[in-house]
A and B are shown apart, each in its own frame.
Chain A
Amino acid sequence: AQKITQTQPGMFVQEKEAVTLDCTYDTSDQSYGLFWYKQPSSGEMIFLIYQGSYDEQNATEGRYSLNFQKARKSANLVISASQLGDSAMYFCAMREYRSNDYKLSFGAGTTVTVRA
């Protein structure tokens, strides 16, 4: 079964506007972590933000915030005040801590294009 689902293959957003990228996850673990990564066209994977399953507050990192709704198993990324440099592929990923390996499982990604 797919652990991470990102239903939006591509999105367009106007510069300076906010955009929300959807991510739902599937796990029976109580302890897990959710990550968002950015992959620009150059290919590198850039870590953006992390949310632990026991964190009560939504994570924020600069213009990035994570809207964590545990009961719905949802971990949406919000990018505020979009910039042209935000155009990239964005991946949601999960790490389950019950297993001993802590590897990341990734979604299919969402391509964001910021328009001037």
Chain B
Amino acid sequence: DSGVTQTPKHLITATGQRVTLRCSPRSGDLSVYWYQQSLDQGLQFLIQYYNGEERAKGNILERFSAQQFPDLHSELNLSSLELGDSALYFCASSPPGTGNTIYFGEGSWLTVV
């Protein structure tokens, strides 16, 4: 158990819909990262939050947004879903500093039909 909790584990939804993926980081970790893993794109970095503030942005579509709340949990919102958004979405967390720990949650499998 990595200590990073993601919900839901599986989600099936229709095109055009909106979903919210939730992540609770490890205790003490201030950074949360979101990644998308698809067959054709591999593991793509989407966005990072550090202690509630957006720190870095990667290949995140405008239809996607995220936030980190005061209790440090994070949500990734995906809207106007398309078939190509079907993927495994990971959240990861790390403590402050340049340490050697970054742990991933079990991922949320999203299927858009």
Q: A99-B56, A101-B56, A105-B45 are in contact. Are A43 and B98 (CB under 8 A)?
A: no
Within 8 A of B (CB), among A27-47: 31, 33, 35, 37, 43-47
A103 with B107: CB separation less than 8 A: no
Give every chain B residue within 8 A of A37 (Cβ-Cβ). Answer: 104
Distance to closest chain A CB from B101 (angstroms): 8
B107 with A44: CB separation less than 8 A: yes
Q: A101-B48, A106-B42 are in contact. Are A43 and B58 (CB under 8 A)?
A: no
Give every chain A residue within 8 A of B42 (Cβ-Cβ). Answer: 106, 108-109
A102 within 8 A of B: yes
A43 with B104: CB separation less than 8 A: no
Sort A-B residue pairs by CB-CB distance and give the 3 closest, nearest first: A101-B56, A45-B104, A50-B100
Could you tell me which A residues sit within 8 Å of B by CB distance? 31, 33, 35, 37, 43-47, 50, 52, 91, 95, 97, 99-106, 108-109
